[in-house]
A and B are shown apart, each in its own frame.
Chain A
Amino acid sequence: MLALYSNPRWLSVVRGTVERLTKILGFPEGQCRSIISAVDEALSNIVRHSYRNRLDQPIAMYFRRTQRQSEGDVQQGLEILLCDRGPEVDASKLQGRPLNEIRPGGLGLHLIRQAMDTVEYTRKGPINRLRLVKYLSPTNNALRGRRDGADFA
């Protein structure tokens, strides 16, 4: 578990953490970069939209191994849960904008959805929960043989 305040200065620290974690888990380099980008964009969205750029609000991140059955094989993966205490998010606004217009803004959600296999938003009591999951392809399954479902931190 990682607890931090909503100050963008911590973004680079989280990127470094996710980089090491994804490398250890055996994700290919390109997927490591896209997972780092997805987490970074999700955190930036929390700071910007949920907390409206306030620097002192709490964010909690949970990392755990997960798995799924895929075509008779077990695919191991990484689940990342981001929690904040901002106002409830209108889930219909979490789709990202079409990319056929050349204009700034609105790209973060697109990058998150491109990178991750699962992107789920839920509200539980006063907490916004964004669940991101990325599965390893069978050839990159460095987690195989380790204890399933264990938390990393």
Chain B
Amino acid sequence: MQILPRRQDKATIFDVSGDIDFANSREVRQSVLHEIQESRVARVVVNLSRVNYIDSSGVASLVESLKASRDLGSRFILFGLSTSAREVLQLSRLIKVFEIYDNEEQALAS
């Protein structure tokens, strides 16, 4: 799993690739939370288009990031969810909690 941040206007976009599971979800959480707390950007966007699988610890990392964003007045946005990732969020009844878009263009234009 790899997670790389990049800046675009008033947003930080995290490009994540590989599976997010118990072996690496802590890395995702730490990277995103650090950015939320340090940069105070208006939008934190997570690109999941190259993530095939996400487990419950990965979902927990996203929920923590969402809460931290809300606390600091930032928007937390996901895009490019695989079928598997979407199903996990649906089964967890969290799909409506997140702002989710199909692609980066939509996520930044929203």
Interface residues of A (CB under 8 A from B): 8-9, 11-12, 15, 30, 33-34, 36-37, 40-41, 44, 47-48, 99-100, 102-105, 107-108, 110-111, 114
Q: Are B55 and A37 in contact (CB under 8 A)?
A: yes
Contacts of B22 in A (CB 8 A): 8, 11, 40, 44, 47-48
Known interface pairs A12-B19, A37-B88. Does A103 touch B63 (Cβ–Cβ under 8 Å)? yes
Summarize B's interface: helix, strand, loop or mixed.
helix
Q: Are A111 and B88 in contact (CB under 8 A)?
A: yes
A128 to B21, CA, bound (A): 23
Contacts of B92 in A (CB 8 A): 99, 107, 110-111
Q: Which 10 A-B pairs have the closest CB atoms?
A: A104-B60, A8-B23, A107-B56, A44-B22, A108-B56, A104-B63, A99-B93, A8-B22, A107-B92, A104-B64
B94 near A: Cβ within 8 Å? yes
Q: How far is the CB of B10 from chain A (nearest CB, A)?
A: 26
A40 to B88, CA, bound (A): 13
Interface residues of B (CB under 8 A from A): 19, 21-23, 53, 55-57, 59-61, 63-64, 67, 83-84, 87-88, 91-94, 97
Contacts of A99 in B (CB 8 A): 92-93
